[in-house]
Amino acid sequence: MTLDPVTLEILGTRFSSTVEEMGLSLQRTARTLYVKEAADFGTALAGLDGRFFAYPNGVGVCSFIDLDCRRIIEAVPDLQPGDVIVSNHPYESGGAVTHTPDLTLIEPYFHDGRIVAYGWTFVHSSDIGGRVPSSISPSSTELIHEGLLLPPIRLVSQYQTVPEILSVILANTRTPEDVEGDINAMRAALSIGRRRVAEIIEKFGVDSFLAGQREIIAYSRSKARAVFRKIPDGTYSFADYLDDDGVSRVPIRLHIAMTVRDGEIELDFSATDPQSDSPYNIAAEGRRHPWLTLRLAAFAYTLDPTIPLNTGLFDSITIKAPSGTIVSPQYPAPVGIRHVTAQRVYETLNGAMSQALPEVMPACNGGVLIPVVLAEPQAADGSRNVVIVEPVVGGMGGRLGADGVDGRDCSIANLANNPLESLEASAAVRVIRYGLRADSGGPGQWRGGVGLELEFEVLKDGCSILGRGMDRFCFAPWGRHGGHPGALAETIVNRGRAGERHIGKIDVVPLSKGDIMTIRTPGGGGYGDPRARCYDLIERDIDKGLVSQEQAASVYAVVLDSGQIDRAASEALRKSLPCGDEPNRDDRDPVRSAWDSLLEGEAGDALTRLWQAVAIPQRSTAKRQVFGAALNGASTPNWSASDLPTLEMQAVERALVAEVEKLLGARR
Partner 1 sequence: MVMSVAQQQGFRVGIDVGGTFTDIVFGDLKTGTLFNYKEPSTPDDPSRGVMSGLRAAMERFEIAPSAVLAIVHGTTIGLNAVLQRKGAKLALVVSKGNRDILEIARGSMPSPYDMYAQKDVPLVPRNLVFECGARGGPDGATVAFPEAEEIEALAARLRDAEVESVAVVILHSYANRTLERELIGALSARLPGLEFTASSDVWPEMREYERALVACLNAFIVPLKRRYFERLESGLRSLGIDSPILISTSNGGCISVAAARDRPIETILSGPASGVVAASGLALTLPNRNAVTVDMGGTSADMSVCEDGRPHTTTATHIGEFPLVTPVVGVSAIGAGGGSILWVDSEGLLKVGPESAGADPGPVCFGRGGDRPTLTDCYVALGFIDPDHFLGGRMSLDRDAAHDALRDIGRRLGFSGPDASERAASAGVRIATAKMAGELLKGLARQGADPRDYVLVPYGGAGPTNAAFLAEEARIRRIAVPQAPGLFCALGALTSDLRRDFVRSLPKRLSDNLGKPIAEIFAELAASGSDWLSQERIADADRTLRFSLDMRYRGQAYDIEVVAPQEVALSGDVARILEQFHDEHLSVHGFSDRSAPTEFCNLRVVAVGHTDKPPASRAAAVDSPPEPIRRPCYLADGWTEAIVHQRADLATGRVVQGPAVLEQDDTTVVVPPGWQVEVAEQGHLDIVRKGSS
**Dist CA 616 CA 52 (whole Å):** 32
Min dist CB 282 to partner 1, Å, is: 19
Site for partner 1 in 290-319 (CB under 8 A): 297-299, 301-302, 305-306
Cβ nearer to partner 1, comparing 54 with 156: 54
SS3 for 615-649 is CHHHHHHHHHHHHHHHCCCCCCCCCCHHHHHHCCH
- When binding is defined by CB under 8 A, the residue of 162, 410, 573, 658 that contacts partner 1 is 410
Pick between residue 297 and residue 634 the one whose CB is nearest to partner 1: 297
CA distances from 510 to 374, 441, 460, 504, 515 (A): 10, 30, 11, 14, 10
Distance, in Å, from the CA atom of 230 to the CA atom of 501, rounded to the nearest integer, reads: 49
Between 424 and 507, CB nearer to partner 1: 424
Residue type, 2: T
Tell me whether residue 239 or residue 429 sits nearer to partner 1 (CB atom).
429
Minimum distance, C-beta of residue 78 to partner 1, in the bound complex (Å): 31
The 10 Å Cβ neighbour count of residue 221 is: 18
Choices 117-125, 184-192, 327-335, 524-532 (CB under 8 A): range interacting with partner 1? 184-192
If one asks whether residue 597 binds partner 1 (CB under 8 A), the answer comes out as: no
> Hey, is 119 helix, strand or coil?
strand
Give whichever of 11 and 634 is closer to partner 1, judged by the CB atom.
Answer: 11
CB of 519 to partner 1, least distance (A): 14
How far is it, in rounded angstroms, from Cα 297 to Cα 412?
11
By CB under 8 A, residue 424 contacts partner 1 = yes
Which of 179-218 are b and which e, b meaning 16 or more Cβ less than 10 Å from the residue's Cβ? Answer: bebbbebbbbbbbbbbebbeebbeebeeebbbbbbbbbbe
**Which positions from 45 through 104 interact with partner 1, judged by CB under 8 A?**
57-58, 62
Bond from prior residue into 290 cis (ω within 30 degrees of 0): no
Amino acid at 432: I
Q: How far apart are CA 251 and CA 253, in angstroms?
A: 6
Q: How far apart are CA 578 and CA 592, in angstroms?
A: 24
In this complex, which beta carbon is closest to partner 1, that of residue 434 or of residue 595? 434
> What does the DSSP assignment read for 144-176?
GGG-----SEEEEETTEE-HHHHHHHHHT-S-H
Residue 406 touches partner 1, criterion: CB under 8 A: yes
Please give the single-letter amino acid code of residue 12: G
To the nearest whole angstrom, how small is the minimum distance from the Cβ of residue 438 to partner 1? 10
Exactly one of 132, 170, 188, 629 binds partner 1 (CB under 8 A); that residue is 188
Minimum CB separation of residue 551 from partner 1 in Å reads 16
Residues 14-33 that bind partner 1 (CB under 8 A): 14, 16-18, 20-21, 24-25, 28-29, 31, 33
Count of CB atoms situated within 10 Å of the CB of 361: 23
* Single residue of 407, 448, 485, 486 touching partner 1 by CB under 8 A: 407
Q: CA 124 from chain center: how many Å?
A: 16
Give me the numbers of helices (H) and strands (E) for the chain, helices first please.
16, 22
Q: Between helices 590-599 and 602-613, what is the axis angle to 10°?
A: 60
Between 100 and 126, whose beta carbon lies closer to partner 1? 126
Q: Does 41 bind partner 1 (CB under 8 A)?
A: no
Binding segment for partner 1 (CB under 8 A), chosen from 91-99, 165-173, 315-323, 423-431, is 423-431
**# residues near partner 1 by CB under 8 A:** 77
In the region spanning residues 207 to 236, those forming contacts with partner 1, defined by CB under 8 A, are: 219, 222-223, 226
Task: Choose between 402 and 569: whose C-beta lies nearer to partner 1.
Answer: 402
Measured from the CB atom, the residue of 352 and 393 that comes closer to partner 1 is 393
Nearer to partner 1, 394 or 530 (CB): 394
Pairing of strands 560-561, 317-320: unpaired
* Nearby residues of 169 by Cβ (< 8 Å), 6 or more positions away: 86, 148, 150, 155, 179, 183
Q: 615 to 654, contacts with partner 1 by CB under 8 A?
A: none
Looking at 379-503, list the stretches that DSSP marks H as alpha helix, in order from N- to C-terminal side.
420-426
Q: What is the spatial distance between Cα 271 and Cα 237, in angstroms, rounded to a whole number?
A: 10
Judged by CB under 8 A, the residue of 242, 393, 458, 493 near partner 1 is: 393
- Rule CB under 8 A: choose which of 232, 234, 377, 435 binds partner 1: 435
With CB under 8 A as the contact rule, the residue among 78, 112, 164, 421 that binds partner 1 is 421
CB of 442 to partner 1, least distance (A): 17
CB 599 within 8 A of CB 656: no
Q: How far apart are CA 325 and CA 182, in angstroms?
A: 34
Q: Which ranges of 121-271 would DSSP assign to H, the alpha helix?
A: 163-171, 176-204, 206-228
Q: From the CB of 6, what's the least distance to partner 1, in Å?
A: 4
In this chain, which of 162, 432, 503, 658 binds partner 1, going by CB under 8 A?
A: 432
Cβ distance to partner 1 smaller for residue 65 or 603: 65
d(CA 554, CA 56): 48
Within 98-157, the residues that bind partner 1 by CB under 8 A are none
Q: What's the CA dihedral at 639, 644, 648, 652 to 10 degrees?
A: 80
Chain residues 492-531 in contact with partner 1, contact rule CB under 8 A = none
Nearer of residues 13 and 618 to partner 1, judged by Cβ: 13
Considering the complex, state which of residue 358 and residue 601 has its C-beta at the smaller distance from partner 1: 358
Closer to partner 1 at the Cβ: 142 or 543? 543
> Closest CB to partner 1 among 106 and 546?
546
* Angstrom distance (rounded) from CA 168 to CA 600: 50
Question: Using CA atoms, how far apart are residues 347 and 349, in angstroms rounded to an integer?
Answer: 5
To the nearest whole angstrom, how small is the minimum distance from the Cβ of residue 113 to partner 1?
A: 25
Q: Whose Cβ is closer to partner 1: residue 454's or residue 644's?
A: 454
Interaction of residue 425 with partner 1, rule CB under 8 A: yes
Q: Which of residues 253-282 bind partner 1 (CB under 8 A)?
A: none
Residues 527-566 that bind partner 1 (CB under 8 A): 543-546
Of 90-98, 99-107, 145-153, 177-185, the window that binds partner 1 (rule: CB under 8 A) is 177-185
Least spacing, CB of residue 24 vs partner 1, in Å: 4
CB closer to partner 1, 377 vs 435:
435
Cβ atoms of 334 and 349 closer than 8 Å: no
| Pairing of the two strands 264-268 and 317-320 | parallel
Region of 239-247, 400-408, 469-477, 505-513 interacting with partner 1 (CB under 8 A): 400-408
Shortest Cβ distance from residue 557 to partner 1 (Å)? 23
Q: Applying CB under 8 A, does 378 fall inside the site for partner 1?
A: no
Query: Does 5 contact partner 1 by CB under 8 A?
Result: yes
HSE toward the beta carbon, residue 296, CA cutoff 13 A: 39
**Interaction pattern, residues 445-484, with partner 1; x per rule: CB under 8 A:** -------x--x-----------------------------
Question: Which of 1, 36, 171, 501 is close enough to bind partner 1 by CB under 8 A?
Answer: 36
